[in-house]
Amino acid sequence: MKEFEYPFDAEYLLSKKKRLKRELLAASEQFLEIKAAILGGSTTSDIKQLLELFLLHHGIKPTFFESEYNRFYEDAVFGNPELDELGPDLVFIHTSWRNIRRFPELTDSPEAVQEKLESEYQRFVSVWEALAEKYHCTIIQNNFDYPFYRLLGSKDAADIHGRVNFLTRLNLKFAEYAESHSAFLIHDLNYLSAQYGLDRWHDESAWYLYKYALAVQAIPCLANSVANIIKAVYGKNKKAFALDLDNTLWGGIVGDDGVENLSIGQETARSEAFTAFQSYLKEQQQLGILLNIDSKNEMCSALAGLGHPEGVLKQEDFIVIKANWLPKSQNLAEIAAALNIGVDSIVFVDDNPAEREIIRQSFPNVSVPDIGDEPEKFIRILDRSGYFECVGISTEDLNKQKLYQQNAKRADLLQSFTDYDEYLRSLHMTARIEGFIPLYMQRIAQLTNKSNQFNLTTKRYTQAEIEAAANDPNCVTLYGKLADKFGDNGVVSVVIGRRRGEALHLELWIMSCRVLKRDMEFAMMDALAAKCRAMGVKTVYGYYYPTAKNGMVRDFYQLQGFTKLSEDTEGNTVWQLDLEGYQNKNRFISVED
Amino acid sequence: MTKEEIYAQLDEVFQDVFDDEEIHVNAETTANDIEDWDSLEHINLVVAIEAKFGIKFNMNEVVSFKNVGEMVDVILQRV
């Protein structure tokens, strides 16, 4: 909903929140349902309500537990039956500088200050450890905002007795903890409050009257920021840019003005702004965001523009370049198809408001930020929109550009074969298929949240749940990693089954669409059959739950040789495979042991 | 701005905050008259009224309003 996109009107959201909730619930039928707990060190009532709105906007429907006022520590460490009953997938700990119990006194020795720092830190660690042990949940923890006054003035930052100094050091300790705990994420309240402006962020009357640790008007901003992390945890980040060229990536019209007259480089303020924007996009690309062009231009002009010696982005930085005179909406649909992603994973960036409006009309799910036409503002608008909120950088992300380029080479090779089997043989594919190992937990969790098409049950897992499955003796877990002569595709398929007696029930079977029609699903089935036999499992049950996106695997279990046991009115099907006499089906992939 | 205009605008604020288009307030309206008007909704109401009229109530005023009429008196002084 447009109301929730940056820059949103906080007061509007606050005053209309009840109506907006109704409208959000009516706007979609398919929500991802999650169980979330908000443990507060101050009042959280409106934070919960606004967070719910922003999550619904992202297609996530939360069931909440909300701690009583300032009970975050007690609920986590001593437990709370209601919290146990919910069994949260995710816990947001909303604390602030108000929750520091003992700040340094001016007379404290350095050792005493250090002891206070350690004791505040340990108090939080005990909260996190208790929650992780009980619920194997994702934890989102605020770091600390700075107080609204400074006893020592600027020296508050530089003296160990200063609160600013103390909170800065505590924030660094929180960050260190986050580095070694992947299911633990910092919500950067410190940056958010600075961005909002500390003078507006702090409202003492809201504290004295209602025990809100921030101004009520700042709550939508907080909720948006936390919702961005949560949607990223559940794989709902955007994946790609579709970018206009003229007056978006450079100043001027390349077809009219000529390459030599474009604004890009360091010559003028305007050209510097475009160069900075290109550098920003290059940084996004290095994080795994796919760059594409959707421009009304002759292809030769577009490529000439990208060849500008001062440009940061070059032709090879883009996966799909659409430069033609077709409607941009048609190009956008083709970009999505070529990348094998939904249009709802694309951010469309264009300085022309008419083009933006057409895309909004054609595809309500595409993100179309109002970037305006001033290049110096593009970065901030995109940054604040939180499309690509990062919750963990996997090597897959860092190599994504390369993966897509290899796919382009495979597509070229396929053109040269008339026999598909010959093509598969020529790829010299090798796979590694085994139970989950720590190195890949993050990628595996990411895949369970990102895969929509080749996904039999559309069950989502947090990294904590993936780790729990890997350690559960009654779970069979398999990941598959596929490489060929063009390169390594990384982890592309994941299977999780739960054993009951001599039967195995498949809770999850997913595969990346990058490796469709490569026989990888058969290699996975062979490995699953072998693993089942080794542990005395005789029958495997598969489940298919239809969604708007997974029609391609409706007959998957039939292809794998299963027999259909039942089908209900909604199209949910149950399948059975007797493992006796199972014969391996993979013909083209050599599987390493 | 006249008192009538203020009441008309207040009706809109109350209707938004409590999501009920039937609500109409007058000088005597208190929290007892509106089902969802508890202390946590009170702050939303205050923030919404401040935004609507572009004013700020001070802390003392927020806790001492006995009915909508007293709010309107303060609004009249500020707008």
As a three-state string, the secondary structure of A486-540 is CEEEEEEEEEEEEEECCEEEEEEEEECHHHCCCCHHHHHHHHHHHHHHHCCCCEE
**Interface touch B62/A217, C-beta < 8 Å:** no
Nearest residue of chain A to residue B16 (CA atoms): A16
> Under CATH, to which class is A2-233 assigned?
alpha beta
What is the model's pLDDT at position A235? 84
| A473-483: pLDDT as tens digits | 999 999 999 99
The alpha carbon of residue B2 is apart from the nearest alpha carbon of chain A, in Å, by: 23
pLDDT at A450: 82
B45-58 burial code (b ≥16 CB/10 A, e <16): bbbbbbbbbeeebe
Instruction: For residue A188, give the 3-state DSSP assignment.
Output: coil
Half-sphere exposure of A175 (CA within 13 A, CB side): 10
State whether B58 and A205 contact (CB < 8 Å).
yes
Beta bridge partners of A539: A503, A578
Q: For residue range A440-459, what is the model confidence (pLDDT) as tens digits?
A: 998 899 889 888 889 999 99
**Which among B16, B59, B62 has CB closest to A16?**
B16
- Region A352-370 average pLDDT: 94
Contact A15 B63 (CB under 8 A): no
**Class level of CATH domain A240-385:** alpha beta
DSSP per-residue letters across A240-296: EEEE--BTTTBBS-HHHH-GGGSB-SSSSHHHHHHHHHHHHHHHHHHTTPEEEEEEE
Looking at residues A101-128, what average pLDDT do you find? Answer: 97
Q: How confident is the model at residue A394 (pLDDT cuts 50, 70, 90)?
A: low
**A205 closest CB neighbour out of B39, B51, B59:** B59
**Shortest alpha-carbon distance between residue A333 and chain B (Å):** 39
Global pTM value: 0.81
The whole-number pLDDT of residue A395 equals 67
**Under 8 Å between Cβ of A325 and A290:** no
Closest by CA to A198, choosing from A145, A144, A143, is A145
Nearest to B62 among A11, A15, A209 (CB): A209
Whole-number pLDDT of residue A256: 93
Tell me which chain B residue has its CA closest to the CA of residue A204: B59
Residues in chain A whose Cβ is within 8 Å of chain B = 11, 14-16, 18-19, 22, 43, 45-46, 205-206, 208-210, 212, 216-217
Task: Give the other-Cβ count within 10 Å of A128's Cβ.
Answer: 20
Q: Do B59 and A216 touch (CB under 8 A)?
A: no
pLDDT recorded at residue A126:
96
* A49 min Cα distance to partner chain B (Å): 12
Q: What is the mean pLDDT of chain A?
A: 93
Smallest CA–CA separation between A217 and chain B, in Å? 8
A374 min Cα distance to partner chain B (Å): 30
Residues in A touching B51 (Cβ below 8 Å): 11, 15
When CB atoms are compared, the residue of A18, A212, A217 closest to B19 is A18
Beta bridge partners of A494: A479, A510
pLDDT reported for residue A485? 87
| B-interface mutation test, from A16, A48, A199, A205, most B Cβ less than 10 A away | A205
Yes or no, beta carbons of A15 and B17 under 8 Å apart: yes
pLDDT at B28 over 80: yes
Confidence of residue A175 (pLDDT cuts 50, 70, 90): very high
Residues in B touching A216 (Cβ below 8 Å): 43-44, 47
CATH superfamily of B3-78: ACP-like (1.10.1200.10)
Q: Supply the pLDDT for residue A408.
A: 72
Do domains A2-233 and A413-592 share one topology? The answer is no
Position A305 scores a pLDDT of: 96
User: What confidence score (pLDDT) does residue A170 get?
Assistant: 98
ipTM above 0.85, yes or no: yes
Minimum CA–CA partner of B45 in chain A:
A15
Q: Which residues of B touch A (CB under 8 A)?
A: 13, 16-19, 39-40, 43-44, 47-48, 51, 58-59, 62-63
Q: Give pLDDT tens digits for A456-469.
A: 999 999 888 999 99
Residue A2: band (very low, low, confident or very high) from pLDDT cuts 50, 70, 90: confident
Backbone angles phi, psi at A566, to 5 degrees: -160, 160
| Shortest alpha-carbon distance between residue A37 and chain B (Å) | 19
- The percentage of residues in chain A with a pLDDT greater than 70, rounded to a whole number, is 99
SS3 A435: coil
Q: Which residues of B touch A45 (CB under 8 A)?
A: 40
Identify the pLDDT of residue A413.
81
Contacting residues of B for A9, CB less than 8 Å apart: none
The shortest C-alpha distance from A35 to chain B (Å) reads 24
How far is C-alpha A259 from the chain's CA centre? Answer: 37
Chain A residues close to B16, C-beta within 8 Å: 15-16, 19
Say if residue A401's pLDDT is above 80: no
pLDDT band at A414 (very low <50, low <70, confident <90, very high): confident
Mutate to test the interface with A, among B19, B47, B57 (most CBs of A within 10 A): B47
Question: Residue A171 — φ and ψ, nearest 5°?
Answer: -60, -40
- Contact between residue A468 and residue A504 where contact means Cβ atoms under 8 Å apart: no
**Segment A15-67, tens digit of pLDDT:** 999 999 999 999 887 898 999 999 999 999 999 999 999 999 999 999 999 99
**Fold type of domain A413-592:** Aminopeptidase (3.40.630)
User: For chain A, what are the domain ranges?
Assistant: 2-233, 240-385, 413-592
How are the residues of chain B apportioned to helix, strand and coil, as percentages rounded to the nearest 5? 65, 0, 35
Cβ pair A216:B44 closer than 8 A: yes
Comparing alpha-carbon positions, the chain A residue that sits nearest to B36 is: A18
Residue A528 predicted with pLDDT over 90: yes
pLDDT in tens, A329-341: 999 999 998 888 8
* Interface probe with B: pick from A12, A13, A15, most Cβ of B within 10 Å: A15
Distance from the A204 Cα atom to the nearest Cα atom in chain B, whole angstroms? 9
Q: How many interchain CB pairs under 8 A, A with B?
A: 42
Q: What is the CB neighbour count within 10 angstroms for residue A11?
A: 16
Residues of chain B with Cβ-Cβ distance to A203 below 8 Å are: none
pLDDT in tens, A130-143: 999 999 899 999 99
DSSP character at residue A159? S
DSSP for A61-86, written as a single string: EEEEEEPPTT-HHHHHHT--HHHHHH
Reported confidence tier of residue A526, pLDDT bands at 50, 70, 90: very high
Q: What is the mean pLDDT of residues A234-256?
A: 95
B57: closest CA of chain A, how far (Å)? 10
The mean pLDDT value for A164-187 works out to 96
Of all residues in chain A, the one with the smallest CA distance to B48 is A15
- What does the block give as tokens for A173? 């300790």
